[in-house]
Amino acid sequence: MTTTEVVSVDYALEVDGLRREFGKTQALNEISFSARRGTVLGLLGPNGSGKTTTVKILSTLLRPSSGSARVYGFDVVKEAARVRETIGLTGQYAAVDEDLNGRLNLELIARLLGYSAKNARARADELLESFDLVDAAKRPAKTYSGGMRRRLDLAASLIGTPDVLFLDEPTTGLDPRSRVAVWDLVRRLRSEGITVLLTTQYLEEADRLADELVVLDHGAVIAAGTPTKLKRQVGGQTLEARPDDPARLDEVALVLGEITGTKAAIDADTGVVAVPAADPAVLSAASDRLGIAGITVAALGLRQPSLDEVFFSLTDGTPQERTAEDATEHAKKESLV
């Protein structure tokens, strides 16, 4: 018994030095990460950062140029057939046959997986029920809304009862209500012990769902860890206070500056005074001192940096800057594939 085998039991995903080129384009540059079984791993990054390429390699649709990847201990190249028995894939575009109705879409996959006609129908009915699609079961999928289509697609990827589920940007293009429904599904899957790899461009989504995050940019891992750890990595907390009376902003700034020993910044537009706070104890001190000074505040609290702030400080770019660049990169890739 070697150590690697023992490790494989605990990890659903092990990616080591994965590299993939499309012609001269380096889509993935030696990325490494892992995910423990039963957790949700968020793969976060802008367009063209290599998220989809990673998912395609892990789901055996693409071969890596070099490096290795294991799913439930099975090598994605050498044991691809075993990997495919373990996984479910929901790609970037809802892969449903628009001419078929909801039930038949599920039956088709079930029958390909070897269910008899009768069992395929029973399995389809179970999933239609779980995904709240019973009423739409007999309607062609082309009449479905974006959210329904995505749910049908998710149901299809679960027919074979996978241990690991890949969700490539599952909420892109969905309205807020459907997005929350997908989030709910991911949480339920996790509670049933399924490992989920979720790619997303939305920091809020990653923050809410993922146990661990891997941040990709230009095909490289630029940060990894829990959402909390990533937030801490970039900057500490901020002590913020908003006085009821905007005229007293200067007084508040003075008090907060005294407590923390750092000069507080005043934002006149929002009426908020902010100061970096290393010690959480400053919160109660601030409350006491403002009370003594007779200043009433509408809001007072410690704020963690948002993942947006983390992300932009990590990638060192703004969304606007990336778009043009990514479009050309994407076009290059399209012409090569």
Partner 1 sequence: MTATLIEPRRVQPRSTSPMPAVRHGWTMAWRNLVKLRLAPQIVVLSAIQQIVMLLVFLLIFGGAVAGDRGEYLSFLLPGILAQNLAFQISSAAAAIQSDIRKGIFDRFRSLPIARSAPLVGHIVGDLPRLALANIVVVLTAVAFGFRVHTGPLEVLLACAIILVMAVAFSWVAATIGLFAKRPESVSMMGLLVMLPLAFGSNALVPTTSLPGWFQSWVRLNPLTYLSDALRSLLTGPVESRPILLTLLSAVVVTLIFMPLAIRAYARRL
Q: Which residues bind partner 1 (CB under 8 A)?
A: 56, 59-63, 81, 84-85, 87-89, 91-101, 104, 108-116, 119, 122-123, 126-127, 129-132, 140, 156-158, 160-162, 185, 188-189, 192, 194, 334, 337
Based on CB atoms, which residue is closest to partner 1, 6 or 337?
A: 337
Beta carbon nearer to partner 1, 95 or 234: 95
d(CA 66, CA 195): 25
Do residues 146 and 169 make contact, with C-beta atoms less than 8 angstroms apart? no
Query: Minimal distance in Å, beta carbon 337 to partner 1?
Result: 7
Q: Which of 172, 135, 131, 177 is closest to 155 using CA atoms?
A: 131
Contact between residue 295 and residue 252 where contact means Cβ atoms under 8 Å apart: yes
The dihedrals phi and psi of 135, each to the nearest 5 degrees, come to -65, -30
Closest separation in Å from C-beta 210 to partner 1? 19
What is the Cα–Cα distance from 22 to 220, expressed in whole angstroms?
A: 15
Q: Which residue has the tokens 């703004």?
A: 318
Nearer to partner 1, 160 or 227 (CB): 160
> Minimum Å distance from CB 197 to partner 1?
13
Least distance (Å) between residue 34 CB and partner 1: 21
- Distance in angstroms (rounded) separating the CA atoms of residues 213 and 198: 10
Name the minimum Å distance from CB 93 to partner 1: 4
**CA–CA separation, 282 and 239 (whole Å):** 8
> How far apart are the C-alpha atoms of 208 and 334, rounded to whole Å?
32
- Dist CA 96 CA 131 (whole Å): 15
Angle (CA) 137 91 131, round 5°: 30
Which of 80/222 has CB closer to partner 1?
80
Q: Which is nearer to partner 1, 98 or 244 (CB)?
A: 98
Nearer to partner 1, 103 or 248 (CB): 103
**Tokens 């449903």, located at residue:** 96
Q: How far is the CB of 6 from partner 1 (least distance, A)?
A: 26
> Shortest gap between Cβ of 60 and partner 1 (angstroms)?
7
* Closest CB to partner 1 among residues 65, 262: 65
